[in-house]
Structure 1
C-alpha cells in the first residue's frame, strides 16, 4: 500500500490477551500514526486469556505456539507483514514462536532490553504475572538487576494482575496493591524505576503522570512496531 510516497507495513496483532492490553496497542497505534500523518494498515486476531494463562502456568510453550501459529496464518491471509503478541505474559514462548512463525515477530523483550540499557538503569522493580516476576522478565534484560516483590507481595500482585487482565478493568483494591508494592520496591528494594511487566498495567499507570519512573514495556513495544512499519 503506497501512502505519503512510501510503503507502509500492514501490522498484524495477536490481541485479546487481555482486552485492555489490546485496546492500549490499538489506541496508541492509531494516535501515533495520526500524529505522523501516516495511514495505518492493521489486522487484529483474537487469542483467549484463560487459555494463555493455563499454558503459561504449565509452561506449555508448544500449545501456545500452536495457537499463535494458527492465528498468524490468518494474518498472512489478511496481508500482514509482521506479527505482534500484545501480551508480556504471552512472551513466555516467544523464542519458540519466532523460530516457526509464518511472519517476522516483533519481540518486546529485546526492545525493552535495549531501552533499559540506553537509559542507564541498574535496579528495576517489576510488576506482572508470577512467571514474569519470578523469571525477571524472562531473563531478557542483561544490563540491569530486575527486582521482583517479596513473598506475599508477589502473590498479591500476581492475583490482582490476573483478575484485572481477565476482566479488562482495574478495581481500587487492585490499584492499591500495585501502588503499595511499587513504593516498597522503590523505597526498600532500592529500585530506580518500576517495570510494567504486564501490558494491562496501562489501566493503572500513566507514564506521563506517574509519581515515579516507569519502564513501560507495552509502550516501548508499540513504538518499535511503529518504527518498523513506517521505516
Structure 2
C-alpha cells in the first residue's frame, strides 16, 4: 500500500519515522511505497496552543488531499502532539488515517502494564494520551506541565536536544517512575528520541517510544499484514 506521511512536525521525527519504516520493510523483504507532505511546524504549534482543533484538522485535510492526488491510499501523522485533532481529521480526511492511539493501547495490553507515565506536549499530557482507557496515565504535576511542553517544543523545532534538555527529560521521567508509580515511561512526543535514543539504559526505568510503536503499525498497514 502507498502510504502518505504528514511530516515536518518536526523534521527530526519525520526522518525517524522514515528510517523506522524503511528498516521494517527491508527486514520483511518488501519495498516501501511512501510519499511525505511537509507540514508547517510553527502553524501546528500555534493551533495546539490555541486549542484550534477544527482549524488544524482542516489544515491537515489539505495535505491529505495532496497525498491522495499523489496516489497515497492511507495517511499518518508523524507527531503525537498533532493527534490532538485526530478525531476531527478522521471525520474530514479523504483517506483512512492510521492513528497512533489504538496501536499504543494494544502495546500496553501486550506488555501487561497498568500505570504508564507520559512526557510530551501539553495536549498529550493533559488528555492522558488522548483518553487511552486500558491503563492509568500518570503525568507530571500541574506546575511542571508547562516546562515539559516548552522544552519539548523547543527541541522539536530545532531538531536537536541540548545536554540540559536531555537531563531535564531524564529527570522528569525518573520522577514519574520513582515518585509517582509509573511502570514505564512513554515518550509521548515523537521527537523525544532526540533526548533518549542510545541512552535508554542510563535513566533507570523502562521506556516505550510512541513513534516506533506508531511506525510499526504504519508498516503493518503498508505491507498488508493486519
State the TM-score bracket (shorter-chain normalisation): over 0.9
Q: Distance in 1 between matches of 2:112 and 2:170?
A: 24
Distance 1:225 1:207, change over 3 A: farther
Q: Distance in 2 between matches of 1:65 and 1:202?
A: 26
Partner of residue 137, structure 2: 146
Partner of residue 198, structure 1: 189
Which of the numbers 81, 90, 94 marks the counterpart of 1:98?
Answer: 90
**Paired residues of 1:122 and 1:192 also in contact (CA < 8 A):** yes
Superposed CA deviations along residues 204-227 of structure 1, whole A, max 9, x for unmatched, are: 223894342122111111101111
Shift of 1:40: 0.9
Partner of residue 171, structure 1: 162
Superposed CA deviations along residues 38-57 of structure 1, whole A, max 9, x for unmatched, are: 11111000111111011111
Which of the numbers 214, 221, 226 marks the counterpart of 1:221?
Answer: 214
Which of the numbers 79, 91, 97 marks the counterpart of 1:87?
Answer: 79
Shift of 1:132: 1.0
**Paired residues of 2:200 and 2:207 also in contact (CA < 8 A):** no
Shift of 1:153: 3.0
Q: Distance in 1 between matches of 2:48 and 2:100?
A: 17
Aligned to 2:192, the other structure's residue is in SS state helix
TM-score by length of 2: 0.94
- Taking only aligned residues, the RMSD between alpha carbons, in angstroms, comes to 1.3
Which of the numbers 119, 125, 139 marks the counterpart of 1:133?
Answer: 125
Partner of residue 65, structure 2: 73
**Paired residues of 2:166 and 2:196 also in contact (CA < 8 A):** no
Shift of 1:164: 0.3
